[in-house]
């Protein structure tokens, strides 16, 4: 039988690690896997706070049974309806026929629509509380962190905040549960990748949620992914403050598409100039090799962005087009941007990249550089000027 990991008095970890799924949301690669965190409050009444993805339900149920034995579950608190957490709702509802589903007024139609379980629903609103015995749970709405129905649950007796997706991370926990049981630096990049690609569009709602949470006295943050925080809470909140306000560090992401290496040659010249100008953080990505989720994560980190693409059937290279579509969809703000491109008989890539930068309302730095065919002698200087202009703008 699993030995339950205690989070606080009466509160236990029942989460599971997923190392099998290749793409989170069938979209983002998760080479390091992901944890679906669930928590059980075993008091006079039993509450489960968030569940797990359906593929992991067997292990999850064994963990729940290890914590509560044959006691019934009274409440399933649904902080968030996305199926990486709510996937197990139907099975839990079948196993525990008296279990109530707790959510807010935006959760209810989703519970009915996805599961047909509206008759088991208990609606809570801002600040409402359910009593479990010695413990209680109080609810605060956090819309769009990550869906409209998102809320957080607070256990005042143990000062535990169940934060849903907020402060979550990709990456499996590999035997650990708490942030001081593992190498937190290993998770920081994956926390930013999770935030930037999944919640990054919703900076303003995240800011509102952070303001609201600042009024709560919590010592443990139990998110639905990643380690349970008790030693790095302030640091992680600061990271969220920066990301949600698009506050960046000195550094440059160079993202380029290149079919046969001519556009890549241009990127190399710009990169060298940046380094010669003293920029230490230069991150170069071939958009056909590196998944956009990693590139977008670094764009959230660094102020500078340089985009390069060949003209491809009178358009951008399709992988560059895909990257900029995602950046535009997320609405990344506050960047300084340079562009370059190449073509063989008719150039449109630079024009299209310029249009993208204008639509994003970003600051363009330096003069765009466009070359025909292979890198020509006179283009070296133009590319170095672009690199210098970028370095000067940081």
Q: Is 193 in the site for ligand FEO (CB under 6 A)?
A: no
Q: What is d(CA 220, CA 261) in angstroms, rounded to the nearest whole number?
A: 50
Please say which residue, 202 or 300, places its beta carbon nearer to ligand FEO: 202
**Enclosing H/E stretch for 307:** strand 302-312
CA dist 223 → 38, 49, 181, 233, 383 (Å):
9, 10, 16, 11, 45
> What x-and-dash track marks residues 299-338 binding ligand FEO by CB under 6 A?
----------------------------------------
Q: Which stretch binds ligand FEO (CB under 6 A): 80-88, 103-111, 257-265, 378-386?
A: 80-88
**Enclosing H/E stretch for 92:** helix 89-95
Q: Which stretch binds ligand FEO (CB under 6 A): 2-10, 78-86, 246-254, 298-306?
A: 78-86
State the nearest-atom distance from the C-beta of 80 to ligand FEO, in Å: 5
Q: What is d(CA 300, CA 247) in angstroms, rounded to the nearest whole number?
A: 8
Q: Which of 63, 108, 120, 225 binds ligand FEO (CB under 6 A)?
A: 225
State the nearest-atom distance from the C-beta of 107 to ligand FEO, in Å: 13
- Token code pair at residue 221: 């943050």
Positive/negative CA dihedral, 194, 329, 331, 104: negative
Please say which residue, 21 or 348, places its beta carbon nearer to ligand FEO: 21
Please say which residue, 166 or 391, places its beta carbon nearer to ligand FEO: 166
Question: Which value, in Å, is the radius of gyration of the alpha carbons in the chain?
Answer: 24
Q: Which stretch binds ligand FEO (CB under 6 A): 77-85, 123-131, 239-247, 308-316?
A: 77-85
Positive/negative CA dihedral, 282, 283, 284, 287: negative
Q: Which of 18, 43, 74, 84 binds ligand FEO (CB under 6 A)?
A: 84
**CA nearest to 151, candidates 142, 159, 163, 160:** 142
Q: Which of 155, 224, 311, 342 binds ligand FEO (CB under 6 A)?
A: 224
Contact 105, 139 (CB under 8 A): no
Q: What is d(CA 254, CA 268) in angstroms, rounded to the nearest whole number?
A: 9
Please say which residue, 236 or 365, places its beta carbon nearer to ligand FEO: 236
Residue recorded with tokens 């197990």 = 88
State the nearest-atom distance from the C-beta of 89 to ligand FEO, in Å: 14
Q: Which stretch binds ligand FEO (CB under 6 A): 79-87, 125-133, 227-235, 318-326?
A: 79-87
**Enclosing H/E stretch for 24:** strand 23-24
Q: Is 82 in the site for ligand FEO (CB under 6 A)?
A: yes
State the nearest-atom distance from the C-beta of 83 to ligand FEO, in Å: 8
Q: What is d(CA 177, CA 7) in angstroms, rounded to the nearest whole number?
A: 9
State the nearest-atom distance from the C-beta of 148 to ligand FEO, in Å: 11
State the nearest-atom distance from the C-beta of 6 to ligand FEO, in Å: 23
Please say which residue, 225 or 230, places its beta carbon nearer to ligand FEO: 225
**CA nearest to 286, candidates 251, 323, 340:** 323
Please say which residue, 225 or 384, places its beta carbon nearer to ligand FEO: 225
Strands 100-103 and 121-123: parallel
Contact 281, 254 (CB under 8 A): no
State the nearest-atom distance from the C-beta of 242 to ligand FEO, in Å: 21
Q: What is d(CA 59, CA 300) in angstroms, rounded to the nearest whole number?
A: 35
State the nearest-atom distance from the C-beta of 43 to ligand FEO, in Å: 26
> What x-and-dash track marks residues 158-187 binding ligand FEO by CB under 6 A?
-------x----------------------
Q: Is 265 in the site for ligand FEO (CB under 6 A)?
A: no
Contact 368, 338 (CB under 8 A): yes
Residues that bind ligand FEO (CB under 6 A): 80, 82, 84-85, 146, 165, 224-225
């Amino acid at each position: 039988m699993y030995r339950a990991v205690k989070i606080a008095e009466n509160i236990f970890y029942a989460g599971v690690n997923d190392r099998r799924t290749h793409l989170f949301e069938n979209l983002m690669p998760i080479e390091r896997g992901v944890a679906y965190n669930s928590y059980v409050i075993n008091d006079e009444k039993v509450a489960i706070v968030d569940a797990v993805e359906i593929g992991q339900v067997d292990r999850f149920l064994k963990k729940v049974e290890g914590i509560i034995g044959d006691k019934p579950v009274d409440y399933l608190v649904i902080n968030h309806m996305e199926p990486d957490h709510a996937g197990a709702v139907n099975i839990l509802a079948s196993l525990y026929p008296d279990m109530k589903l707790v959510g807010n007024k935006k959760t209810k139609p989703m519970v009915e629509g996805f599961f047909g379980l509206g008759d088991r629903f208990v609606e809570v609103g801002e600040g409402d509380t359910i009593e479990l015995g010695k413990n209680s749970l109080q609810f605060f709405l956090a819309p769009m962190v990550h869906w409209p129905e998102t809320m957080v649950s607070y256990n005042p007796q143990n000062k535990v905040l169940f934060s849903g997706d907020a402060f979550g991370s990709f990456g499996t926990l590999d035997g650990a549960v708490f942030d001081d049981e593992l190498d937190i630096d290993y998770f920081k990049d994956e926390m930013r990748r999770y935030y930037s690609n999944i919640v990054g569009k919703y900076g303003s709602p995240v800011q509102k949620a952070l303001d609201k949470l600042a009024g709560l006295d919590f010592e443990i943050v139990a998110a639905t992914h990643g380690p349970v925080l008790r030693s790095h809470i302030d640091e992680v909140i600061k990271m969220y403050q920066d990301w949600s306000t698009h506050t960046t560090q000195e550094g440059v992401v160079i993202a380029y598409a290149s079919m046969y290496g001519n556009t890549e040659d241009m990127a190399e010249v710009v990169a060298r100039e940046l380094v010669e100008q003293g920029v230490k953080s230069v991150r170069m990505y071939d958009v056909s090799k590196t998944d956009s989720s990693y590139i977008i994560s670094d764009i959230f980190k660094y102020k500078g962005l340089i985009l390069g693409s060949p003209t491809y059937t009178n358009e951008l290279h399709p992988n560059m087009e895909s990257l900029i579509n995602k950046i535009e969809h997320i609405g990344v703000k506050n960047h300084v941007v340079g562009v370059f491109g190449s073509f063989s008989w008719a150039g449109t890539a630079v024009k299209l990249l310029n249009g993208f930068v204008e639509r994003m309302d970003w600051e363009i730095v330096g003069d765009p550089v466009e070359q025909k065919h292979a890198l020509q002698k006179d283009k070296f200087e133009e590319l170095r000027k672009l690199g210098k202009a970028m370095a000067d703008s940081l």
